Amino acid sequence: MRKKLDRGLHWTTFYSEKLLLAVIGGLTMFAAILDVYELILAMKVELGDLFLLFIYAEILGMVGAFYISSRIPVTLPIIIAMTALCRLIVLHSKEADPWMLMAEAGAILLLSGAAYIMSLKDKLSLEKKKLRDTEDEVV
């Protein structure tokens, strides 16, 4: 009975997830367009602005990856966080406390290690899947 109810309600999760990601993608594009418009009006582009545009591109890439594979690779949010921390360092580097800059740089190092470990895990999982698939073909 419980499994039947779960299967019956699965569509709500499926479609609400797709809808929310479409909203996230649309709002990300809207924010990017507004920021590009402001950059054009100001006739000035700084490194922090470029990092922000990279963050928008990474968010759109994450939404696109979900629509293609129905899953979000865990490394993408980590990379977005690293880019956001880089932007923070660039924006506040002149007036920031040196210890705060070291902490932010340490966080980037920690996140890059986590992204590397997760990419190894994904690679190992794909290799295991290929091995299982070839074993199934043999049997």
| Tens digit of pLDDT at every position of the chain (139 positions) | 667 666 667 778 888 888 999 999 999 999 999 999 999 999 999 999 999 999 999 999 999 988 888 887 888 899 999 999 999 999 888 888 999 999 999 999 999 999 999 888 877 776 766 776 776 676 5
Q: What is the count of structural domains for the chain?
A: 1
Domain encompassing residue 133: 2-138
Dihedral pair phi/psi, residue 63, rounded to 5°: -65, -45
